[in-house]
Amino acid sequence: MKKARIISNRSFEIGKVKDTMFSSFTEHLGRSIYTGIYEPGHPLADENGFRTDVMDLVRELGVPVIRYPGGNFVSCYDWHDGIGPKDQRPKRMDYAWSSIETNQFGIDDFCQWAEKVGVEPMIAVNLGTGSIKDAGDLVEYCNFPGGTYWSDLRIKNGHKEPYHVRYWCLGNEMEGSWQAGHLSAEDYTKKALEAAKIMKWVDPTIKLIACGSSYEMLPTYMEWDRTMLSQLWDQVDYLSTHNYTMNSGQGTENYLASYKQLDEHIRNSQRVIEYVKAKNHFSKDIKICLDEWNVWNFQDIKLDSLDDLAGLTTFEMTSADKWEIAPPILQEKYSLLDATVCGGLGITLLNHADVIDIACLAQLINVIAPITTKLGGGILKQAIYYPFYMLSKYGRGTAMQTVIDAPAVHTMYGDLPVIEPAVIYDTDHDEIHLFALNADTEDDVQLQIELQDFGTRKITGHYTLSGPSQDSVNTFEHPDLVKMTESVVTEPDQVILPKSSWNVIVLK
C-alpha cells in the first residue's frame, strides 16, 4: 500500500471561505424551471406551483445564492414577458436552446421562490439583444421601494416590498460566438459600462459581476478580460468566468486529475486581475465569481470536446426536437467517477478561497444537475449531489495551506501528488475538515495527517463517496447506488483512502 503525509500549520492560512462559494445556478433551459422548480398540479406543489420536495433538497444543500435566468437564455430574454397576469404572458421562441418559452415563470416567481427557500437571487441582465435601459428598469422593478413606474408595477403585481437583489451579472459569456448579440471585448465594455452606470444610479448598493473569459480555446481568452477590466474596474466588483470538466476519453487518471485544469484556469483569471490592477494603479480589489462550474460530458449535445466551442454558433441536441416546451435536454446522468471528479473540483475551489468569493454549481435541477425530478412524480439525488452537499456542510471556515508528501501520479497535466487535499478550519465548531482526492486508480493510500498548532486532535469521522463501480449511476429504481459511506476510524491521525476516491475526514 502506498503512503502519503499531509501537513497543515495553524499559522498559514489561504483565506476565509465565503458562504457564497456553495452557490448554484438555474436557467430557463430544458426542465430546470418547468417541472423542476415549477410544476403546478404536482402532488407536492404549493399554492404558487413550486415543488416543495425540490425546495427541501435545495435547503438541505445549504445553497446561499442562485443565479438566474441564464446562461445563454438571458441574451435573448425580455424580462417584461415574465411579469403580470400569467394568462397574458406571451410564448416566445428561445433561440439559445431552440425551445418555446411560455413565460409562466418570471422574475417575480423566481424572487418569491428564493424567499421561500431562503436563498439570495443573482440576476443576470440581457446585454446581448437587450438595452442598457432595460437593465436599469429591471433593477428599479426589483429594488426600488415605490413611487416610480416600474416599482409601482411590482407592487401592482403582488409584491409590495422590494426584493433587494444584491448580485447582478452584466450579461453572460458575451465573448462566445454562440451568444445572441455576441460582442467584441471593446463593444461589450462600452455597453456594460453604460448599463452599470444606470443600474448603480438606480441602486448604488448593488454588486456587479463583469463578463470575463470562460473558455481557453477562444482566441480572445484573457485578452478579453484585460481589455474589459481596464475600463470597467471602478464599476464592477467581480470578474465572472466559467469552467466545465469533460470526460472525453482522456483516461481515468487524467480525468481524476482534471482539478488541475480548473486550478490553472482560476490562476489565469487571477493573473489578469493582478496585471490590470498593477498596470493602472487601481486601489480596490476585484474577486472572481466562478458562476458556472461542473462536470459536463455533453451526453446529448453533438460536441466531441470543449475545443469545438471555437466558432460555434448553435448547440445541436440529440434528445429532443426543436421548439418543444421544456424539452428533456442536458439531463446528464452522473456516475460515481463523475462525482469523484466533481469533488476534486470542489477541493480546488476551497484552495482558492483567497481569490474566489462566489462559485455557482451549474446547474441545480434536471439540467447537468445534482437534483433530478420526475414529471408528476418523485425526486432523485444524483451522484454529484453528495460531494456538493459535503462541500457545503464541511467546507465553511478558513482554508489552510497544506504540504503534501506523496507518490506521484503521471497525468496529462504533469506529475502530480497522488493525493490532492484541502484543509478547512471550522472555528465555529473548532473542527478540522480534510477533503482528500486519491487519484490513484490502482492502489489505496495510507494517509498520515499532521496538524501543527491546532492543539490535540483526533479523527472522529471518515466519509467516502462510494458505489458498486465507477460507472454506477443513481436512478429512480436504485436511488442509493452512489452515496457517502462512513468508515470505521481505528487510528487517531491516519486513514486509508480507497483508490479513485473522494473523502472527507473530520478531526476534533
Catalytic center residues: 173, 292
**Joined grid coordinates for residue 337:** 467517477
- How far, in Å, CA of 450 to CA of 465, rounded? 23
CA–CA separation, 176 and 371 (whole Å): 28
Relative orientation angle of helices 52-61 and 385-394, to the nearest 10 degrees: 50
What is the per-residue DSSP string for 256-321? HTTHHHHHHHHHHHHHHHHHHHHHHT--S--EEEEEEEEE---TTBS-SSGGGGTT---PPBSSS-
Run of H or E residues at 478 = none
SS3 state of residue 197: helix
Grouping H, G, I as helix, E, B as strand and the rest as coil, residue 131 is coil
The DSSP H or E segment spanning 411 is strand 408-411
Residue 455, phi then psi, degrees to nearest 5: 80, 180
- Angstrom distances, CA of residue 81 to CA of 25, 78, 226, 425: 21, 6, 35, 47
Reported in sequence order, the residue ranges of 102-259 that DSSP labels E, i.e. its strands, are: 120-125, 167-170, 207-211, 238-245
- In angstroms, the CA 384 to CA 157 distance is 38
In whole angstroms, give the CA distance from residue 245 to residue 257.
10
CA distances, 303 to each of 71, 286, 318, 338, 486 (Å): 18, 34, 11, 18, 38
Distance separating alpha carbons of residues 237 and 210, to the nearest angstrom: 8
Sheet holding 13-16: strands in order across? 13-16, 398-400, 419-426, 431-438, 501-507, 459-466, 483-486
Q: 477: burial class by Cβ within 10 Å (0-12, 13-18, 19+)? A: exposed
- Give kind and range of the element (H or E) at residue 99: strand 99-101
What residues contact residue 456 under an 8 Å CB cut-off, 6+ apart?
Answer: none
